[in-house]
Chains A and B, each alone.
Chain A
């Protein structure tokens, strides 16, 4: 199923924010934006909740901690014990350093990997640019058209104070 959207591109982050605020107050669904840099406050207007990726980091980090604590215990106290200066077989305090490093490694790599998978980024993927310049100086807003009553001309008039550089209608594959 595809959805009709209105694509409006602006020349500045301020215009984009103003337009997004205005359209949101009028109750139009804002689907997404394409911007050359993050803009603080935009995610609130798009009514998105916070990303759950830090949770992935937490889980991966916890796995790293568990794995390394077990592994160091198993190698030093179970599998092949070696008396090092009379220290306890399970020298848990000494094991903390490596445990910490592996925790950071797992959490960092796990989160980035989850981010790339979730955002569908991979080497060689061809980008779907909303408008040329969306990675340079164009700020694009996607407005969903819910029903047949959606009046493009009327919305265009609402957007006039924010000097849109381009207004067009597109078919968007439903995500």
Chain B
């Protein structure tokens, strides 16, 4: 544990010079992609294609192609929506929250984590969109003067809040990511031989020349965006949780949902970042940049948030029985011991028990073991949303309307398709822009080596 916090371990291994940092991080961009990359792209691209086929079929045929029924009106779609939004939140946590807390180790991770945020929010957005049934009318969510009255949207509805939260989150994340990318695009522009690639970098780098006047303003803007993104990320998942918490449904109607959702989001997102970075650092040869200390730090995050999530499970159970409300108590008994009880126990094991392995140094120092834990957490967190949504719905107040829920192939393929979209986008991202923020790593390394006296 101690080695993660001792200051004598360098942030980046190997005492690198600024020139070395630019060269090493941008090296993969200049090379032709290897066979593994093409293979992964083929797999994820196929998954994406299958998903598009499923969505196309669903659009032409209707929502009836899903396994939803009168009782269970939300199933795979909203489960996946909440899952993907949660995955995205780790990116903002690493880029904004850790920036405000001056955690300089974040510089090795923030670019990739922010990209993941964007891709995950895209995946998330697909589900409510296609669940509308007529996604070409999705603009009805926007309050514009229309010929129906004007009939305005209902600003008291959490689903409208969600529309505003997710669109703002995507926009601000994209802007934050792009602002962070400008200096690195300029570095690439000046390193790349003239040609199409260089012209694209040149166009996108907005004529950045490293002037300190610009840097001076840039730092102020970056800090401000981080300060805005921090409450934003909390608000987004809080609002996602109000989609449930404001409904008068036992199992949903609880005040614990917002903090529980936000923490769960960070938990699953951190696991996804860690899983992807373990693969990326090996594939792109960036082990000097993403070191054991990064794995350790993220492991502590996963352990901590796992503890909070576990506490939330226990609190929910306790509250359900303590209130003496028979409907509330029934929902929780049904969750753990009912027909879908297996999903509850997958959730508890993967989110509460498996992460405890990260306490052991022997586990943290084996990338394969850490990878396995992060995958388990993602499975567990997916099931958490499934449990919250489906087990609360399928046995409601009237036993005559009780039903079960069986996802169809179309739903399965749609979910597979979003994984395909996420990984395809990530693979392309790795080839187009540096996966590590070059300028930020240089700044952190220079400050650490004492080059900038009076640093932090």
Q: Give B456's nearest chain A residue, CB to CB.
A: A40
Q: Chain B's nearest CB lies how many Å from the CB of A133?
A: 7
Binary interface encoding of chain A residues 101-114 relative to chain B, with 1 for a CB under 8 A from any of its CBs, else 0: 11011011101100
Interface of B (DSSP majority class): helix
Partner of A94 from the list B156, B217, B450 (CB cut-off 8 Å) is: B156
Q: Chain A's nearest CB lies how many Å from the CB of B355?
A: 32
Interface residues in B279-329 (C-beta closer than 8 Å to A): none
- The reply to whether B155 and A130 form a contact with Cβ atoms under 8 Å apart is no
> What is the CA–CA distance of A125 and B81 in the complex, to the nearest angstrom?
39
Partner of B175 from the list A94, A112, A125 (CB cut-off 8 Å) is: A112
Q: Which residues of B contact A133 (CB under 8 A)?
A: 190
Q: Which residues of A contact B187 (CB under 8 A)?
A: 36, 135-136
Given A123-B204, A134-B209, answer yes or no on A109-B171 (Cβ-Cβ < 8 Å).
yes
Given A41-B452, A53-B217, answer yes or no on A137-B209 (Cβ-Cβ < 8 Å).
no
Given A80-B151, A124-B202, answer yes or no on A37-B207 (Cβ-Cβ < 8 Å).
no
> What is the CA–CA distance of A43 and B204 in the complex, to the nearest angstrom?
27
- The reply to whether A104 and B228 form a contact with Cβ atoms under 8 Å apart is yes
> What is the CA–CA distance of A99 and B216 in the complex, to the nearest angstrom?
31
Given A53-B224, A128-B209, answer yes or no on A43-B191 (Cβ-Cβ < 8 Å).
no
Q: Give A121's nearest chain B residue, CB to CB.
A: B206
Most buried by A among B149, B187, B212: B212
- The reply to whether A75 and B214 form a contact with Cβ atoms under 8 Å apart is no
Partner of A54 from the list B19, B190, B224, B455 (CB cut-off 8 Å) is: B224
Q: Which residues of B contact A115 (CB under 8 A)?
A: 179, 217-218, 221
> What is the CA–CA distance of A97 and B50 in the complex, to the nearest angstrom?
37
Interface residues in B173-225 (C-beta closer than 8 Å to A): 175-176, 179, 182-183, 186-187, 189-191, 202-221, 224-225
Q: Give A141's nearest chain B residue, CB to CB.
A: B212
Q: Give B219's nearest chain A residue, CB to CB.
A: A38
- The reply to whether B211 and A34 form a contact with Cβ atoms under 8 Å apart is yes
Interface residues in A8-61 (C-beta closer than 8 Å to B): 12-14, 17, 32-43, 46, 48, 50-51, 53-54, 57
17 A-B contacts, Cβ less than 8 Å apart? A33-B211, A35-B212, A37-B440, A37-B446, A40-B456, A41-B453, A48-B216, A97-B161, A98-B155, A101-B235, A107-B224, A112-B221, A119-B211, A127-B208, A134-B209, A135-B189, A140-B210
- Give B contacts to A, CB under 8 Å: 17-19, 22, 143, 149-158, 160-161, 164-165, 168, 171-172, 175-176, 179, 182-183, 186-187, 189-191, 202-221, 224-225, 228-229, 231-232, 235, 239, 242, 439-440, 442-443, 446-447, 450-456
Closest 4 CB pairs of A and B: A125-B207, A75-B152, A51-B220, A121-B206
